[in-house]
Amino acid sequence: TLVELGKAQTRTVDFYRKGWSFFDLEGVVATLENVNGALTVVDASELLPMVNTALRYAREDLLAAKREPPVGELEKFADVLTLLEACISAKLQGDDYLSLLPTGIDKLRELDQASHLDLLDSIDLEALESEIEAKKKAMPRLPPSLYQRLRHPPAHNPQPTSAQNHQQSTVSPVSL
């Protein structure tokens, strides 16, 4: 799936660099269809709105109309693909991918606003956000990865030794 997304990203760049090569865009559509199938098989329903929206955008908005989008709009599409790739990569590595999904939903909204179609008309984003929150709560708390421990070490609070305890408990005479 990650390889497929890499192909979709490369073909998206080629679509633009080759002067709106709709042949490359057809490859993006085919690749996203494969990703959709793979996510369906592994029951990653929370990721399907991202891939389905990207697929609709490429197939129904750009390819069907042979539309040449502004560069900024194409960048929004690329952001969705990149975020989808990050989510899938994190899921495959057993890392928390659910925390990336709110950003993904924001990117879908941006793409929807830029598109000539109503890309999100069949997606209940509130239900999706609720599903994500429920899955976050149900996730077992995993110990932090080595990277996370190195990046955010716990506060150093050394425990006093018995000699230090003894020093702290003895009262020194006070002269008046």
Question: How far, in whole angstroms, is CA 173 from its chain's centroid?
Answer: 63
CB contact at 8 A, 57 and 77: yes
Q: pLDDT value at position 44?
A: 87
Compute the CA torsion angle 162, 165, 169, 175 (nearest 10 deg).
Answer: 110
Q: Is the pLDDT of residue 126 over 70?
A: yes
176 vs 171: CA distance, rounded Å? 15
* Between residues 59 and 2, the one the model is more confident about: 59
What global pTM score does this model have?
Answer: 0.76
What whole-number distance in Å separates Cα of residue 28 and Cα of residue 166?
71
